[in-house]
Structure 1
Amino acid sequence: MTFDYVIAGGGTAGLVIANRLSEDPSTNVVVIEPGRDVRDDADVLNVDRAGVTYSPDLDWKFKSIAQPQLGNRVIDHPAGKALGGTTVINGLYYIRGNKAEYDAWERLGNPGWNWDTLLPYFIRSEKFAIPAKAQGEAGMSYLPQYHGESGPLNTGHPSHVENGTFYDSARKTCEELGFSLNPDMNGGKTRGFGAYPKTMDRDANVRESAARAYYEPIDGRRNLKVIQGAVKRIIFEDGDGGKVVATGLEYTDDKGHLMSVTAKKEVIISAGTYVSPLILEASGVGNPSILARNGITTKVELPAVGEALQDQTLWVLMFQANPGLVGHVPFAAFATAEDVFKSATDTVEAATREKLASWSEMIAKRLNGGVSAGALKQRFEIQHNVIFGQKSSVVEFEFFSVGNVIGIVFSPTLPFSWGSAHINAAGEISNPEVDPNFLSIDYDKQVALEVGRIARKIWSTKPLSDLAGDLIVPGDAVLPENATDAQWAEFLTSSCVPASHTIGTCAMLPQELGGVVDPTLKVYGTANVRVVDASVIPHLISGHTSAAVYALAEKASDLIKESLATGS
């Protein structure tokens, strides 16, 4: 079978690309995705089960290598295994992040990639349900200039909102602690307290996955085909100018047969942060030492493939809800370094700046020689400026209530503890060797401790404290209200889990900074291979990655169309 564009992965980005490229009826597109089509699965559609793993066949459940800094724990890493990718199992959060974090993409060497250039793509992708009167009274606010109303992706607030005690108490408590009301967390500034939309069809009250948004409306196009299969490698041949040319993909179909498809124009890898680097490595693109130990011949020497994986950690505090609790609308609070460190902020800023070089050396040793300490230091300097100079948010607090339980999730958003994802010794692309390297930098542990204390303080401050009874997770015996540093450290290392906002393993950067793709998302050393998914994002955002990936893929679609028109 021969197609113009062959896409490896039918997740968030892959389906956006497939939709936009197949708008031209003369262009033939194929998507190869190992997961099933679960658009009509009742559990997947059920918004009340958001964030719950439904069955093993919908979640890859990748596992990390043992983490010595976490007591040798092995960490589960969820990833969606279905048409629509992780959007079929995620928590539905739609929070884009801060302007400064997107602007950092451009500062890192990617012209044209910043908040202002991405905002039109956020708007183009979105079909925002304007809050109804009752929703507005329940705290659902928005600023219209930041939202689209005619895009493929339904976003909105749940209809069953209540202007109840939970929202009012949380808002008043957060204001008491200095977090003022934020009228729209998707306007490029997340700091403050407010309600956020979800990726859901509000009126139908169902999950909005990438499959429902970008594939379902066009699944009858004759020039678009979806094949259930697992990509094994890119098929390369030598090209002009020292660049290899991709002629197609090799994959195993749903019956285990080895198959291939031919690409006349481009191969696009959209398999996600864990798997996209593995497909490159299996194809001979990566660090020669890693390829050699897996018996793979190097075709393109690109040492940064799989390196500088970044993700956020999160923790949960759960309390027994007192009688009288009313309301369960989605809302959150974001805090800056000044909110966390207060009068000590300048001291922390100076102390951490002095440590950037040593942190870079430490992380470089963990990254298989793929990214130099000097490159990491330059990237860390920009992140340090985003935190302290641009005053971006460094922590997210998410409030929730489920039955007779009420609580908070807290997650530091801009860590310096970076890791990697590589092909394993057996060469299995479906089983990456993941090293998240969580909490390996002292600053990250310090932030986690401080924001944990703030989370505990939120629940001991009126009026929110009136709604909460005993701490039931992890329990007062483990984490009393006046817990010591040692008790906090034990809790943090023993119970951290990924926020699943993983990025960076095929970073869009100059090669000297650890780049894998250029600003057009083409893989260095190849003539016609692009990576389009969260793995190309070079700098974490204080938000939720799926929102960023929708916009990134929309922009990437235009870049591909432009290159087709110009022949570049």
Structure 2
Amino acid sequence: MAFDYVVAGGGTAGLVIANRLSENPSITVAVVEPGQDVRDDPGVLDVDLTGVTYSPTLDWNFKSTALGGTTVINGMYYIRGDRDNYDAWEHLGNPGWNWTTLLPYFLRSEKFAVPTGAQIKAGRSYIPRYHGEEGLLQTGHPYQVENGSFHQSAKETCETLGFALNPDMNSGETRGFGAYPQTLDRDANVRESAARAYYEPIDSRPSLRVIPGTVKRITFRNSASGRLVATGVEYTDDKDNLAFVTARKEVILSAGTYVVLTRNNIQTKLDLPGVGEGFQDQPLWVLLFQAATNLTGHVPFAAFATARDIFGADTNAVAATTKLNGGVSADALEKRFRVQHDVIFDKQASMTEFEFFSLGDVTGIVFSPTLPFSWGSVHLDGTGQTDSPAIDHNFLSIDFDMQTALKVGRIARKMWSTKPLSELAGNLTVPGDTVLPENATDAEWTEFLTSSCVPAFHCIGTCAMLPRELGGVVDPTLKVYGTANLRVVDASVIPHLMSGHPSAAVYALAERAADLIKEALSVESPDDSG
């Protein structure tokens, strides 16, 4: 089989690319994806099952095994993050990648359901210029309205603690308290995945084909210019037979942050030490309380905090200490850390998320520092097995991150001991008042933080879009350095975490990548064509 473009991975970015490229009927596109089509699976569609652990048919050892990728099982958050998060991408050496250039792509991808009068009365708000209403991805606020006392109590408590109301968390400024939209079809009350948004409307398009299979390796040939040319992908089909599909123009790797190049048994042809490094994720913790009253329904509201909110009068001292002792020894990482330091302390972008939730007779808060300095890696494990990556989150390895987590945890605890929110909660059940009393010591907090840290699965960075000398793997056109026609389009190319959730960013990134690929058609070199 031969196609113009072969996309390895039918997740968020892969399906956006496949949709946009196949809009031209003269361009053929194949998506090689191991997962089944689960668009009609009740476990996927039911918004009330958000956050429930799914079977291996949907979530299989870090690999997306369902068409649509993580969008079929994620928390459905649609929070883009701060404008300074995206401007940092450009400051790191990626011309044209900033908030201003990406905003049109956020708008292009989004089909936002304007809040109803009842929803606005219940605390939902938005700023029209920051939302698209004609895109493919449906977003909005669910009709189910949480017990009014919860939302109002959380709002008043946050305002008491200095977190003012944010009318739209997708405006490029997340700081404050507010309701955020979700990736859902509001009227049908079902999850909106990448498959439902970008594949379902065009699944009969003749120029597009989804091939069930697992990519094993990308094949290359040498060109006269010295750059490697990707000629196609070798994969195992749904019957475990080895097969091959040819790419006439490009191969696009959209397999996700965990499935980096080294995991696909690719023979080393280029020296790209940044592959698998720079792995970033956000740590999170949960405090669970007995609810004083039964709370039901959806609770899509949260609060975001800046460094000044967290450290108060000590902010300048913490900033100076962190810049001096950031734990950075490698020259290639120093600029990346300094740019992130600037985003946190000089730009005062949000660096922490507090998410409120209720589960009937229990309620609580999730708190997560969103811009940690502790980065990890993803590589093959010691056995060399491609389906068992060695994932090292490296959480809390930098003193600043532990210091931040301790401060953030105390604020989360204080929120639930401050009226009127405190009136909705009883005893702390997880981890328990005896483990973490209101007046817990630093030692007690440190024990809780180190023993209860879990990943947010907001993973980026393992094939970073950066200059090669900074450990970059792809250039600003998302082409892998040293290749003519191999691109990576997924969360792994994002070089710097955002204060929000990566899902929204990946949709916009893939929309822009599709335009870059289309633009390349007019300047393609015969020597480097697939």
Pairing 1:226–2:183 present = no
Distance 2:195 2:297 in 1: 31
Give the equivalent residue in structure 2 for 1:76: none
Which runs of structure 2 are paired with 1:13-32 in the superposition (5 Å)? 13-32=13-32
The 1:327–1:272 alpha-carbon spacing in structure 2 relative to 1, beyond 3 Å, is closer
Identity of aligned residues (%): 70
Pairing 1:519–2:476 present = yes
Distance 1:39 1:533 in 2: 21
CA positional deviation for 1:242: 1.8
Maintained 8 Å contact 2:490/2:506: yes
Give the match's secondary structure for 1:183: coil
Pairing 1:345–2:308 present = no
Distance 1:265 1:428 in 2: 30
Give the match's secondary structure for 2:412: helix
Distance 1:131 1:201 in 2: 13
CA positional deviation for 1:325: 4.8
CA positional deviation for 1:423: 2.3
Maintained 8 Å contact 1:164/1:326: no
Give the equivalent residue in structure 2 for 1:310: 280
Distance 1:9 1:137 in 2: 42
Pairing 1:321–2:291 present = yes
1:421 to 378, 386, 393: 378
CA positional deviation for 1:427: 3.6
Unaligned runs of 5+ in 1: 63-78, 285-297, 362-372
Maintained 8 Å contact 1:21/1:29: yes
Distance 2:498 2:220 in 1: 34
Which runs of structure 2 are paired with 1:272-291 in the superposition (5 Å)? 272-279=256-263, 282-284=265-267
Paired residue type of 1:415: P
CA deviations on 1:220-278 (whole Å, 9 max, x unpaired) are 00110101111000011111222111110001111111111000000000000000333
Distance 2:146 2:392 in 1: 42
CA positional deviation for 1:426: 3.9
Paired residue type of 2:6: V
RMSD of Structure 2 on Structure 1 (CA): 1.2
Paired residue type of 2:261: P
Distance 1:506 1:84 in 2: 21
Maintained 8 Å contact 2:295/2:358: no
Which runs of structure 2 are paired with 1:386-405 in the superposition (5 Å)? 386-405=343-362
Distance 1:504 1:528 in 2: 21
Give the equivalent residue in structure 2 for 1:498: 455
Maintained 8 Å contact 1:93/1:544: yes
Give the match's secondary structure for 1:241: coil
- Bigger drift between 235-244 and 188-197 goes to 235-244
Pairing 1:97–2:81 present = yes
Distance 1:327 1:60 in 2: 29
Paired residue type of 1:332: A
Give the match's secondary structure for 2:293: coil
Which runs of structure 2 are paired with 1:231-270 in the superposition (5 Å)? 231-270=215-254
- Tell me the TM-score normalised to structure 1 length: 0.91
Distance 2:275 2:252 in 1: 16
Paired residue type of 1:360: V
CA positional deviation for 1:422: 1.2
Maintained 8 Å contact 1:319/1:471: yes
Distance 2:9 2:297 in 1: 39
Give the match's secondary structure for 1:323: strand
Pairing 1:52–2:52 present = yes
Maintained 8 Å contact 1:247/1:264: yes
Distance 1:250 1:5 in 2: 14
Pairing 1:299–2:269 present = yes
CA positional deviation for 1:328: 4.1
Distance 1:113 1:557 in 2: 14
Which runs of structure 2 are paired with 1:70-85 in the superposition (5 Å)? 80-85=64-69
Count the aligned residue pairs. 525
CA positional deviation for 1:566: 2.3
Give the match's secondary structure for 1:4: strand
- Bigger drift between 484-493 and 535-544 goes to 484-493
Distance 1:537 1:273 in 2: 9
Maintained 8 Å contact 1:270/1:276: no
1:195 to 179, 187, 190: 179
The 1:168–1:387 alpha-carbon spacing in structure 2 relative to 1, beyond 3 Å, is same
Paired residue type of 1:11: G
Which runs of structure 2 are paired with 1:545-560 in the superposition (5 Å)? 545-560=502-517
CA positional deviation for 1:18: 0.2
Give the match's secondary structure for 2:353: strand
Paired residue type of 1:375: A
Maintained 8 Å contact 2:356/2:364: yes
Unaligned runs of 5+ in 2: 526-530
- Bigger drift between 409-418 and 315-324 goes to 315-324
Pairing 1:332–2:316 present = no
Give the match's secondary structure for 1:519: coil
Maintained 8 Å contact 1:507/1:535: yes
